[in-house]
Structure formats: structure tokens, C-alpha cells
Structure 1
Amino acid sequence: MFILQGFFTLPNFSPFSPSPDSDEQPATQTYHERKIFPYGRKDLYNLVADVGSYHSFVPYCTGSRILEQRMGQNGVVTMDVELMVGFFALKESYVSRVTCRPYESVQAEASTSTPLFKTLQTTWRFQPASSTSPHLSSGPPLHGDAGNSVAVASHSPDAGPTLVTLDIAFAFENPLHSALSAKFFGKVSTLMVQAFEERCLAVYGSGTK
């Protein structure tokens, strides 16, 4: 789910860019999405952790392959993954370090640079949700405190519904690129959640509300 790294290549604005001696640094942009899905955490986690299938549903991802995989404590899996992306005639590949914590989260951080982005981090989280909670599509992160009516810690990984949150943080190499494309990339997180929802329907059906 890490489409930003090669999603779009902007023109070369180097003549108008800050000089090498400038202290101005590209600001890190962050986007947050959340939505309740009628599936268990286990099923949703398995979809995101299956990086080999990203080309089947992740927008603009044309291929992916696992370069190295390591098993850690408590079932945590760490992978180095090469992702290939394409947008019209533009193609690019990069490597992400993916950390999978079973039924809790999948986090990817780009470990190789491109001319466009300085940093890129994508995090998916899966939390039990109350069956009486509204199906939210956006809002602030939830912390799972006892007074929260959305998070319900007693649910098993197989039981739904599940609150899925997606957080994306990235910084462009060029501050001008950042200013020009902020509105465009603000739609990417929504697009990723929509693609994920379609993948859930294709694999698991409509689920139960």
C-alpha cells in the first residue's frame, strides 16, 4: 500500500528551487483516514500483509516482490519489499521495510530514495470496533481507552467489525514540489482506503454488519 513513492513525477523546477545553502526544508505532510469494516482483524491484516498481491488491487502498483523476510518475537515479521509502480508512461521502483504485527498493524517505510520523495511512511492499524458504532470514514486517531465507544478490546481477531486506520507521512525532496502537489496527494489516502474496501469485497464478500 505504498503507492506514493512513484505515484507521480513532477516537472523539474530546479531553476526555481532553493539554493543548496538554503535552510528551508520540505515539510512533512500527513494524511489520516479511518473506516469501520464488517470483517475480523485477522482477515483485514492478512490482506495488507500480503504484499505479493498488491498489483491486484493497489492503485498504480504494477508489481511487488519480497527480497528478504525475517521472523521476530511475538510473531512480528519484517520484510524488505521491492515495489514497482507506474503512472501513464512513468515507471519507478523502490524498496520498503515492512513490519507486520499480527492482527494489529502493518507499517512500511521507504528505505531507498527517489528524486521526488525524501521520506515516506505508511501505517495500517486494525482495532476491534463496537457493532453499534457508526461507520466512520475520517477523523482523529483512536487510542483505545476504556471510555471510547468505538474500541472494544474483548473481540477476538476473527470477530468483526474492525476499525481500520491509515496514516501516511511523506516529505518531498523539493519544497516547491510540496507546495504544488499538496492538494493532489491529499486524495491518495482516500483512494487507498477505497481500493482496500473493493479488495475486501472481492475476497471476503460483503461480510456482516
Structure 2
Amino acid sequence: MLRVVRQQCFCVTSRKASYQRGFFTLPNFSPFSDEPPATQTYHERKIFPHGRRDLYNLIADVGSYPSFVPYCTGSRILERRVGQDGVVTMDAELMVGFFAFKESYVSRVTCRPYESVQAEASTSTPLFKTLQTVWRFQPASSTSPHPSSGPPLHGEVRTSVAADSHSPDAGPTLVTLDIAFAFENPLHSALSAKFFGKVSTLMVQAFEERCLAVYGSGTK
């Protein structure tokens, strides 16, 4: 059986960034013109029966995103680099579309094998001031408790299995997803906050379906 523990939280903080491009542009309203954008954050977690290697490989395959990532209509790798430490860095153009919105932007994707995949918009958009997603993969025990409420764990999740002694091919694995974004225009934030609040949940559900399609249930 797949053991599910999920947390979603909503936070608003002030943050300045330097990103540009987006979906459509509405005029800034003077009452908001001097206010910094509010950064919205969402956190999800779920335990999968698969090993970290398999789960990491799915998320690191940026070219396959249109097959399972919600609202991603296209992707292409512009440049790929591998460091001496094995960390893979990519510049990828992602195309997204939902409702009347259609946009493409370049994202810097940093892949740390079997540990994490981080994507951060490196070109700016009229819709988003900032846009960042981070997937993390950590060894889990099927019997150890995992909190299902409270603030994000900032990459620190305690389990009964030591990470340095846990093979990347062995499951189960605790997968966490953190999304942080700020709209360029306050009106976009007000109109779209509820919609984007569901995106993190949809992404984890889509990832689970992708795992089932590629690797099966992972149980015997």
C-alpha cells in the first residue's frame, strides 16, 4: 500500500526579484505601484514506494514535462552542463498554458542526483515576478512518522533510515515539493491565488500517475 502524508501551507512574505516575461499584462494601479509583490509558497509531501534514483530520473527529465506536468505544453533544453561534482545544470525553455494564458520562459534547472531538482525562472514575465519549484527526495521508513501539518521542513526530514546508508535504488522515498511565486501585478495575485493554490497538489498527483505509468505500483 502507498502511504500518503501531505501538507499544504500558504505563506505571504515580501520579496524583491528581477524576473520579467509572462501571460498578459494589465496596468499597474497606483495604490499598489510602490508595494513589493507578495510571494506565495506551497508545500506538499508524499511517500512513494520507489527508490530515489527512479523518482529523481522522472523529474530530471525536463523534456518529458509536457507528458505529465499540469499546464506545461512544451519544453526544450537550450543548454546542459555537468559539473565535476555530478550536478547537472540546464537552461530550459518551458511553455505553459491555462485558461486564456499562454507563455514561455527560460528556467535554470539544477539537478543534484537522487537528492533534488530545482527550477527557477531566469527570464522575466509580465505575470510572474518570481517562480521557483524544488523537488526533494529523501529516504523514508514505512514505519516512521512524518508530520502532516506545520511549516515546510526546509529539506530536513527525520526518518528512521540514515540517508548516507540508504541505497538510491531502495524505497520507500519521501518526496517533497515546494513552490514559490510572486505575481508582477497585485490584481493578478488577487484573481489567481485560489487557482494557483491547487497547482502544487495537482503536480504531486500528476507525478504519482507518471510513476505508476513508468514503474508500476512499486509494491509486490
Question: In which range does the TM-score fall when normalised by the shorter chain?
Answer: 0.7 to 0.9
For structure 2, the residue ranges without an aligned partner over 5 or more in a row are 1-20
Q: 1:80 to 1:37 in 2, by over 3 A?
A: same
Deviations 1:154-205 (A, max 9, x none): 2110000000000001111112322332222111100000000000000000
**Per-residue deviation at 1:35?**
0.4
Q: Which deviates more from structure 2 when the two are superposed, residues 126-135 or residues 103-112?
A: 126-135
For structure 1, the residue ranges without an aligned partner over 5 or more in a row are 17-21
Number of corresponding residues: 200
Q: Distance in 1 between matches of 2:65 and 2:93?
A: 11
The answer to whether the 8 Å contact 1:107/1:121 transfers is yes
The answer to whether the 8 Å contact 1:98/1:109 transfers is yes
Q: 1:150 to 1:139 in 2, by over 3 A?
A: farther
Q: Distance in 1 between matches of 2:212 and 2:56?
A: 15
What RMSD over aligned residues (CA atoms) do the two structures have, in Å?
3.0
Q: 1:12 to 1:195 in 2, by over 3 A?
A: farther
When normalised by structure 1's length, the TM-score is: 0.83
**Per-residue deviation at 1:9?**
8.2
The answer to whether the 8 Å contact 2:72/2:97 transfers is yes
Q: 1:6 to 1:138 in 2, by over 3 A?
A: farther
The answer to whether the 8 Å contact 2:139/2:159 transfers is no
Report what 2:119 is aligned to.
108
SS at match of 1:28: strand
The answer to whether the 8 Å contact 1:32/1:139 transfers is no
When normalised by structure 2's length, the TM-score is: 0.79
The answer to whether the 8 Å contact 2:26/2:185 transfers is no
SS at match of 1:43: helix
The answer to whether the 8 Å contact 2:127/2:183 transfers is yes
The answer to whether the 8 Å contact 1:7/1:85 transfers is no
The answer to whether the 8 Å contact 2:23/2:125 transfers is no
The answer to whether the 8 Å contact 1:144/1:152 transfers is no
Report what 1:46 is aligned to.
57
Q: 1:41 to 1:47 in 2, by over 3 A?
A: same
**Per-residue deviation at 1:13?**
7.0
The answer to whether the 8 Å contact 1:79/1:99 transfers is yes
Q: Distance in 2 between matches of 1:103 and 1:200?
A: 15
Q: Distance in 1 between matches of 2:25 and 2:215?
A: 35
Q: Which deviates more from structure 2 when the two are superposed, residues 178-187 or residues 69-78?
A: 178-187
SS at match of 2:38: coil
